[in-house]
């Protein structure tokens, strides 16, 4: 749909026309179509299954004869139950369960309920794989599910019934409901469980992963140079709109891997892989590159370059490799994109070395203030040597924000401003400049959302494979209340950076926010790198069960400490949250948690008022320093029961948001006003605000509200309990 919406819908309509034609021959009737979904009804389970096996066998044969982008795959779910049709509307138990069963079928597959299976057993020759009792949203009891398997080309056992008379439709008529959905799978991987049996979707024909180059230099300190060559080639290719390029964060995980090219291509969802090596000795550099078909592991081309170490020659090699790939894959490239492939960022070899060393530090795992200060010095030295080195000025600007968050020094604000203004002056029409400007105006010391969004829109058009751009687009959509567009951008970020844990976590969080719980299941089951965390978390979001998550942590004692701490907040365990937070601070572990509003609320819930008041004073000083103003935090005042001051501070904060054009409705943490109202005893206002927020994808969930230790005053309050018990408040938002 992203690549060719009109063409995709044409394929859907063509397939639906064939389904309608064949279903009529088996005594079926199309009741409804919904976008890429179709609902059919048959008089018997045998007819429904016979039809489904035949249409799937037909489509499976087609996939062997047509290109993958011209042969959609479809999922089918079958159930026997009541179907109501009145005044043009279709509903009933048969409809609901068939629709749910369809989501469990693999692409090109069929899933049936126990009821349907019992009626065809012994009447149709087909292998059935039991999935066991399955839970479905809005269905009270678990339903045993079977997947039906049929070898391509095999005929179903037994002819269809000759009875094809039309049925009279009345309220309560029993029928077989068949739900079908076009399946163009987004997730490009396979995991374990039932979903793992689906056919591996073909990778986009114009897609590539640039693996870490091998450092062949005798001086291993030249590793930064090798990484720089690989990274620059990757970045150059990523700027080409007609090519899908996997981000550095994902490909770097294959450094020193023993996996085959076929495995790597499968895991990353790409058709081609680029390997290479760099050997640098004195004034000579030797670069090799080979483009490999990830499916056949055959070489598309291989080339080696021996050049003097002059910077012009190094950039020429990088450009030559990128252009070879573009030509080999028959990628469309604009004149602007070609110009960027050939452009050298600096004329100074030494400045380029310093720049690559600084970038190497930023790409490493050490993000301490000491490491960042070292990288800053390298970038500063680079621009001293070449004051026209725009990319180095950009890095010098970007590094100020993480340094500011670590030491809160106002000097970073001025450094960032000077560096970004210099970059814009030197390269005003470069996409990387627009991206750096978009990020700069998001920093706390330069907050200007309107200008950030303006630069982001320009960067997005020129950087189609940039995961950071996609994430920023999603955040801009959330900030501006455009919920429908958020998922598109998060999925794009995941597509280009599938092994980035942070991207995957953010995507899962959004799916939870919009209550697409089955999509979380699909993502987890298709991801070979999943640790099962999200699957263990789902039962809590779906029905409030904490057992699965507690069991997961018990089975993963080495899990990130902050994840365990976050779980205590979600599940409402104030005592364990305080204990774990204190323990982590004593150990000074990575990701060391800071005392914040949740900690104050937890202390108050545990009756430790004196300690809560002491820490509140410290937090107020820190918050004022970070925000650069004298605003009082309303959440802290509310936690301590200072109602009037809390309400006044809340109104001031909301007024500041309105003036800045900030809408927090779709942002995690946007629910704080409702919590403040609850903590100061404004129960009805709090309940009304929670009722509004539960209609929005802001991260709230009825079970989070039920367990939250800051909402004790609302527990048992009839309007609040009614809100939590309303099924629609935990149903998918859109």
Instruction: Give which of 249, 246, 253 is closest to 204, Cα–Cα.
Output: 246
- Report the helix count and the strand count for the chain, using DSSP H and E: 32, 15
- What is the model's pLDDT at position 11? 85
Q: How much is the average pLDDT of 653-677?
A: 85
- What is the model's pLDDT at position 693? 94
- Neighbouring CB atoms inside 10 A of 309's CB total 14
Rounded CA Rg of the chain: 29
Q: Any residues with CB less than 8 A from the CB of 10 and at least 6 apart, and which?
A: none
pTM above 0.85, yes or no: no
Q: What is the rounded CA–CA span in Å between residue 614 and residue 647?
A: 21
173: pLDDT strictly greater than 50:
no
Percent of the chain scoring above 70 in pLDDT: 87
Site of tokens 């390997």: 275
- What is the model's pLDDT at position 167? 28
Q: Put residue 100 in one of left, alpha, beta given phi > 0 → left and psi -120 to 50 → alpha.
A: alpha
pLDDT in tens, 395-419: 999 999 999 988 888 899 999 999 9
- What is the model's pLDDT at position 175? 60
- What is the model's pLDDT at position 573? 95
Q: How much is the average pLDDT of 262-288?
A: 87
pLDDT in tens, 676-702: 999 999 999 999 999 999 999 998 999
**Beta-strand runs (E) in 43-169:** 73-82, 84-86, 89-91, 110-113, 127-134, 143-149
Q: What is the rounded CA–CA span in Å between residue 247 and residue 238?
A: 8
Token pair listed for 435: 């991206």
pLDDT in tens, 439-493: 999 998 888 989 999 999 999 988 988 999 999 999 999 988 888 889 999 999 9
Token pair listed for 174: 């029993």
pLDDT in tens, 186-237: 332 333 333 333 334 568 889 999 999 998 887 777 788 889 889 999 998 9
Q: Residue 172 — pLDDT band, cuts 50, 70, 90?
A: very low
pLDDT in tens, 536-589: 999 999 999 999 999 999 999 888 888 899 999 999 999 999 999 888 888 765
Please tell us whether the domain made up of 207-348 is placed in CATH 3.40.50.10610. yes
Q: What is the rounded CA–CA span in Å between residue 477 and residue 551?
A: 36
Fold of 5-184: Alpha-Beta Plaits (3.30.70)
pLDDT winner (highest mean) among 4-13, 62-71, 427-436 = 427-436
pLDDT in tens, 595-638: 678 888 899 999 998 988 888 877 777 766 666 555 677 888 88
Q: Write the class of the CATH domain 354-515.
A: mainly alpha
Q: Work out the mean pLDDT of the chain and round it to a whole number.
A: 84
Q: Any residues with CB less than 8 A from the CB of 451 and at least 6 apart, and which?
A: 437, 441
Bridge partners for 80 per DSSP: 176
Q: Any residues with CB less than 8 A from the CB of 682 and at least 6 apart, and which?
A: 647
Q: Residue 170 — pLDDT band, cuts 50, 70, 90?
A: very low
Instruction: Give which of 656, 661, 660, 687 is closest to 674, Cα–Cα.
Output: 687
């Amino acid at each position: 749909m992203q690549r060719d919406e009109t063409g995709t819908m044409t394929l859907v309509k063509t397939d639906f026309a064939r389904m309608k034609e064949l279903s009529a021959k088996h005594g079926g009737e199309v009741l409804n179509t919904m976008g890429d979904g179709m609902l059919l009804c048959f008089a018997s389970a045998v007819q429904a299954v016979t039809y489904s096996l035949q249409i799937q066998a037909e489509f499976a044969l087609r996939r062997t004869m047509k290109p993958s982008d011209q042969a959609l795959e479809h999922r089918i779910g079958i159930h026997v139950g009541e179907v109501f049709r009145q005044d043009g509307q279709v509903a009933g138990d048969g409809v609901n369960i068939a629709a749910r069963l369809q989501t469990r079928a693999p692409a090109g597959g069929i899933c049936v309920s126990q009821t349907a299976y019992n009626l065809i057993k012994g009447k149709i020759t087909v292998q059935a794989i039991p999935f066991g009792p399955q839970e479905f949203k809005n269905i009270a009891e678990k339903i045993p599910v079977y997947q039906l398997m049929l070898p391509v080309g095999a005929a179903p056992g037994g002819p269809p019934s000759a009875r094809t008379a039309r049925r009279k439709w009345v309220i309560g008529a029993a029928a077989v409901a068949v739900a079908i959905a076009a399946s163009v799978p987004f997730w490009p991987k396979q995991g374990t469980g039932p979903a793992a049996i689906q056919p591996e979707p073909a990778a986009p024909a114009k897609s590539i992963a640039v693996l870490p180059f091998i450092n062949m230099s005798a001086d291993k300190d030249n590793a930064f140079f090798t990484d720089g060559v690989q990274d620059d080639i990757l970045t150059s290719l990523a700027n080409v709109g007609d090519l899908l390029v996997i981000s550095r964060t994902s490909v770097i995980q294959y450094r020193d891997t023993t996996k085959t090219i076929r495995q790597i291509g499968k895991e990353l969802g790409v058709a081609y892989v680029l390997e290479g090596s760099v050997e640098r000795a004195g004034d000579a550099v030797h670069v090799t590159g080979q483009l490999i078909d990830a499916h056949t592991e055959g070489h598309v081309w291989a080339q080696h370059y021996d050049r003097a170490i002059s910077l012009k020659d190094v950039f020429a090699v990088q450009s030559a490799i990128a252009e070879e790939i573009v030509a080999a894959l028959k990628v469309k490239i604009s004149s602007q994109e070609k110009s960027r492939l050939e452009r050298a960022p600096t004329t100074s070899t030494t400045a380029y070395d310093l720049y690559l060393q600084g970038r190497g530090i930023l790409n490493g795992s050490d993000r301490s203030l000491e490491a960042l200060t070292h990288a800053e010095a390298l970038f500063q030295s680079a621009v001293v040597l070449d004051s026209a080195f725009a990319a180095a000025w950009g890095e010098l600007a970007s590094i100020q924000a993480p340094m500011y968050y670590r030491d809160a020094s106002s000097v970073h604000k001025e450094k960032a401003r000077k560096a970004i203004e210099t970059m814009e002056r030197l390269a005003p029409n470069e996409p990387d400049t627009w991206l750096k400007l978009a990020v700069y105006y998001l920093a706390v010391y330069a907050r200007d959302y309107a200008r950030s969004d303006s630069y982001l829109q320009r960067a997005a058009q020129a950087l189609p494979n940039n995961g950071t751009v996609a994430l920023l687009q999603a955040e801009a959509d959330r900030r501006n209340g455009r919920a429908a567009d958020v998922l598109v951008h998060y999925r794009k970020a995941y597509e280009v950076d599938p092994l980035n844990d942070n991207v995957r976590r953010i995507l899962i969080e959004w799916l939870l926010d919009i209550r697409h719980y089955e999509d979380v299941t699909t993502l987890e089951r298709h991801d070979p790198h999943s640790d099962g965390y999200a699957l263990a978390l789902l039962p809590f979001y779906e029905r409030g069960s904490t057992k699965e998550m507690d069991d997961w942590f018990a089975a993963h004692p080495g899990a990130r400490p902050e994840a365990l701490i976050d779980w205590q907040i979600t599940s409402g365990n104030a005592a364990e949250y305080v204990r774990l937070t204190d323990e982590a601070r004593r150990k000074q572990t990575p990701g060391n948690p800071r005392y914040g509003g949740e900690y104050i609320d937890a202390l108050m819930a545990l009756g430790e008022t004196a300690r809560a008041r002491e820490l509140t004073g410290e937090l107020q000083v820190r918050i004022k320093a970070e925000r650069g103003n004298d605003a009082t935090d309303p959440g802290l005042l509310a936690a301590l029961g200072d109602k009037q001051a809390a309400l006044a501070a809340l109104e001031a904060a909301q007024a500041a948001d309105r003036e800045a054009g900030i809408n927090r409705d779709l942002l995690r943490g946007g629910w704080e006003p409702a919590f403040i109202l609850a903590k100061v005893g404004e129960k009805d206002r709090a309940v009304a605000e929670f009722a509004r927020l539960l209609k929005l994808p802001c991260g709230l969930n009825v079970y989070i509200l039920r367990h939250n230790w800051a909402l004790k005053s609302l527990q048992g309050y009839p309007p609040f309990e009614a809100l939590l018990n309303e099924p629609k408040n935990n149903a998918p938002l859109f």
